[in-house]
Structure 1
Amino acid sequence: MSRALCIVLDSVGCGHAPDAADFGDMGANTLGHLFERSPDLDLPNLALLGLYDVMRSLDREFPYSSLRRHPGSDCTSMCETSVGKDTTTGHWEIAGGILDEPFATFECFPDALIEEISAVGNTGFIGNVAASGTEILTRLGEEHLRSGKPILYTSADSVLQIAAHEEHFGLERLYKLCQTARIILDQRGIRIGRVIARPFVGEDASTFQRTSNRHDYSAAPPQTILNRLQDSGIPTIGVGKISDIFAGSGVSESHTTKSNADGMAAIEQIWSEGREGFIFANLVDFDMLYGHRRDPEGYARCLIEFDEWLGSFLPQVRDEFLLITADHGNDPYHEGTDHTREQVPLLTVNSPKDLVQSPDFTQVATLVGEHFGIASMPNLGK
């Protein structure tokens, strides 16, 4: 047994996908626009793995060139086949599960559903609107404190989110309420990708802020490479929200994190211990803190911070298999606050076979399977 590490840079897309117009995302280009409009942005360590070569192959005017490459590196781009551009759909496809039917989205949830969650959860709700996570706290946070009722809301993603004050409402009570919502959705056959607990602190609209104790309750995934590895006795170690995204399915061990820095530290710690198996990590700050909030300056800084860490980590990758990719785009220059339907880069070191430009994300699952000697299972969840 050997080991492999896949790092998903959440939302770091590299140019609109061929079907982007179907999603209202024609012209979106997360990395391209950041490089174009951030003159000081340079990612030399990602360039060593071929990022600039990928960008140049997708955009002839991309100004950077790779002067040298890391030994054993390869690069390409991938398009998503599944119908969706959310985190869950992207990660499932990376792991080999293609979804033909999109998750459901709502502007507001049906009264009958809210009444059932309220009855079982023994609480009423305020909100039931589509809103951003920070704006909804400004609008309804004080009413939540007065009434004791949690805030229920959604977004352009397939999510049902419940926000409540960590101290006044209680963190464990919030988690239990979200578990109740997940069970009821599944019983009703309502295909919502994630129920998300959104705890916050503060005493008024000027001081409210979300905490890092968020928890996601995902729909059950199809069979993926994680299950195949686990069934073959190969440890699967999730870092960040991987276990949440896959509802724990196929994940032998989980290390939750509070930030990119926390995630990178967890990766390095696991790696330094010489652990065998497949390490699957999600770094969420790109998406959560900067993409949805349309903060290009913060997004660029976040990329630089990861690239600097990667420069210190690469020498520790000897004959092991490293993959770096993304699950969708979230162009901070694009209109709205939603994810963007984009191609994603795939950068590798010591790949078991040459990379090809891919019409779906399942190339990752195939490569990981080949690395561990497991027969390829394309479109595991189709």
Structure 2
Amino acid sequence: MRFKRIFMIVTDGLGIGPDKKQKQFNDEGANTLLHVSETNLLEIPTWKKLGITSIAKTSKPGKIKNQLAYTAKIEELSNGKDTLTGHWEMMGIYTETPFPTFTETGFPPELIKELEKAFDNRKIIGNRSASGTDIINELAEEEIKNNKVIVYTSGDSVLQICGHEKYMGLDNLYRYAQRAREICSSNPKWNVARIIARPYIGENGNYTRTFNRHDYAIEPEKNMILDRLKEKNIEVISIGKINDIFSGHGITKHFPSKGDADGMDIAINLASENTQNQMIFLNLVQFDSHFGHRRDVEGYADNLNLFDIKLSKLINALKEDDLLIITSDHGNDPTFRGYNHTREALPATIYSKAFKKPKKLDNVNSLATLGNIVAKNFDVELASIGEDIWDKLI
């Protein structure tokens, strides 16, 4: 073991431009980080010092002579551009066939009928691809007054269920989501990657989604890298929605978060402790959920600026024998058409205070390359996909 602890941060929905499959996914021209930087609001001095501009274009790249981290551009191997596909690939799972989506048609009548039975015979409204904030603002009053349930989807493989925390209650909303997971998993044609419970609060047309969201994902394959770590008594700590993404598999301790800043603060606090034999796995969901999908480019820039401030604090808290990996699961360009994920190349930033001469590496194949770093460090079996770049990290 070279590093006693490894921190892996996923900036959910932050891509860095074209990859080999971008045309295949009809996402030509998407470049999340570049287009966010063109707001001229972006200030990420810490990440630039680490070397992010050596692999990613920004409107004001600046010149960093001696970058502090290893960097690489990643070509995702799997055929998808969603959360599960990206995160699962990090831990060695290759997704050959994309999960089903219902963007164009909504969910089929036979599925809706089964869901309504499971939802205490409440009538489903919505059933189309939409922005979560938009469809809640449009249909919340009808849902509340007439005891109905808002169900919608997006360009991702998801079925999202909305419920007011006061009138439907979280217990009912979570129960409906669990039943929806069982129903969708019973039929390959319906088996979406995630069922998402989307709670909200508010009155009289003024509604806000809360951080009590819960995802019910398809069960991942057994014996992925997280499972191997847990079997070897490595403590795997999840922060944010990581636990949901892997359905708890391989996780030994979980910290829910109230947003990206809170998630970073949890990581900073953990870094400040004198611990070992740990992998800390953090997802920063708001880049995707609050700014990418909502096509809020200025909010995206502000969130990146806040992340950079927190990143500086995290680096200060890291020990000499800690390793930090920053990457993304897919793109979500807030300037692109529609409001869905974008297929893009993904960044890798690999930092330790112990590194002697970090530099830009050649492009790497598969997000599993990063999971293989974790596996190699803790002496567990590497993934069957991805590369082994361990010996390049000196």
**Cα distance, 1:62 vs. partner?**
6.6
2:351 to 349, 355, 374: 349
Does structure 2 retain, via aligned residues, the 8 Å contact 1:141–1:204?
no
Does structure 1 retain, via aligned residues, the 8 Å contact 2:91–2:383?
no
1:80-119 correspondence runs (5 A) = 80-106=76-102, 107-119=105-117
**Cα distance, 1:136 vs. partner?**
0.5
> Which sits farther off after the overlay, 223-232 or 370-379?
370-379
User: CA separation in 2, counterparts of 1:123 and 1:109?
Assistant: 17
Q: 1:310 aligns to what SS in structure 2?
A: helix
Asked if 1:363 corresponds to 2:364, the answer is no
**Cα distance, 1:130 vs. partner?**
1.4
Cα deviation, 1:177-216, whole Å, max 9, x if unaligned, reads 10000011112233201000011111222x1111111111
Asked if 1:377 corresponds to 2:376, the answer is no
* TM-score of the pair, normalised by structure 1: 0.93
Per the alignment, residue 274 of structure 2 pairs with 274
User: CA separation in 2, counterparts of 1:62 and 1:270?
Assistant: 33
- Counterpart amino acid of 2:199? P
1:297-376 correspondence runs (5 A) = 297-317=298-318, 318-350=320-352, 355-376=361-382
Cα deviation, 1:288-317, whole Å, max 9, x if unaligned, reads 111111111111111111111111221222
Does structure 2 retain, via aligned residues, the 8 Å contact 1:55–1:62?
no
**Cα distance, 1:357 vs. partner?**
1.4
**Cα distance, 1:81 vs. partner?**
1.4
User: CA separation in 1, counterparts of 2:229 and 2:17?
Assistant: 32
1:92-241 correspondence runs (5 A) = 92-106=88-102, 107-124=105-122, 125-189=124-188, 190-205=190-205, 207-223=206-222, 224-241=224-241
Does structure 1 retain, via aligned residues, the 8 Å contact 2:5–2:321?
no
User: CA separation in 2, counterparts of 1:305 and 1:150?
Assistant: 36
Q: 1:20 aligns to what SS in structure 2?
A: coil
Distance 1:235 1:63, change over 3 A: closer
Cα deviation, 1:113-140, whole Å, max 9, x if unaligned, reads 1211222331322221111101111221
- Counterpart amino acid of 2:127? N
1:47-58 correspondence runs (5 A) = 47-55=48-56
Q: 2:366 aligns to what SS in structure 1?
A: coil
User: CA separation in 1, counterparts of 2:299 and 2:211?
Assistant: 18
Does structure 1 retain, via aligned residues, the 8 Å contact 2:268–2:313?
no
Q: 2:274 aligns to what SS in structure 1?
A: coil
Per the alignment, residue 24 of structure 1 pairs with 26
> Which sits farther off after the overlay, 122-131 or 165-174?
122-131
**Cα distance, 1:330 vs. partner?**
0.7
Q: 1:151 aligns to what SS in structure 2?
A: strand
User: CA separation in 2, counterparts of 1:108 and 1:313?
Assistant: 43
User: CA separation in 1, counterparts of 2:187 and 2:290?
Assistant: 33
User: CA separation in 1, counterparts of 2:334 and 2:91?
Assistant: 26
1:27-42 correspondence runs (5 A) = 27-35=29-37, 37-42=38-43
Cα deviation, 1:145-176, whole Å, max 9, x if unaligned, reads 11111101111110000001110111111001
User: CA separation in 2, counterparts of 1:301 and 1:27?
Assistant: 23
Distance 1:378 1:356, change over 3 A: farther
- Counterpart amino acid of 1:329? G
Cα deviation, 1:226-271, whole Å, max 9, x if unaligned, reads 0111111111110000000011111111111110111011111222
- Counterpart amino acid of 1:218? A
- Counterpart amino acid of 1:134? T
Does structure 1 retain, via aligned residues, the 8 Å contact 2:225–2:371?
yes
Q: 1:222 aligns to what SS in structure 2?
A: coil
Which stretches in structure 2 are left out of the alignment for 5+ residues? 387-394
Q: 2:324 aligns to what SS in structure 1?
A: strand
Q: 1:23 aligns to what SS in structure 2?
A: coil
> Which sits farther off after the overlay, 331-340 or 312-321?
312-321
Q: 1:345 aligns to what SS in structure 2?
A: strand
User: CA separation in 2, counterparts of 1:118 and 1:63?
Assistant: 52
- Counterpart amino acid of 1:346? A
- Counterpart amino acid of 1:86? D
Greater helix proportion: 1
Does structure 2 retain, via aligned residues, the 8 Å contact 1:263–1:283?
yes
Distance 1:202 1:366, change over 3 A: same
Cα deviation, 1:345-370, whole Å, max 9, x if unaligned, reads 10011499995411211101111111
* TM-score of the pair, normalised by structure 2: 0.90
Equivalent pairs counted in the alignment come to: 373
- Counterpart amino acid of 1:309? K
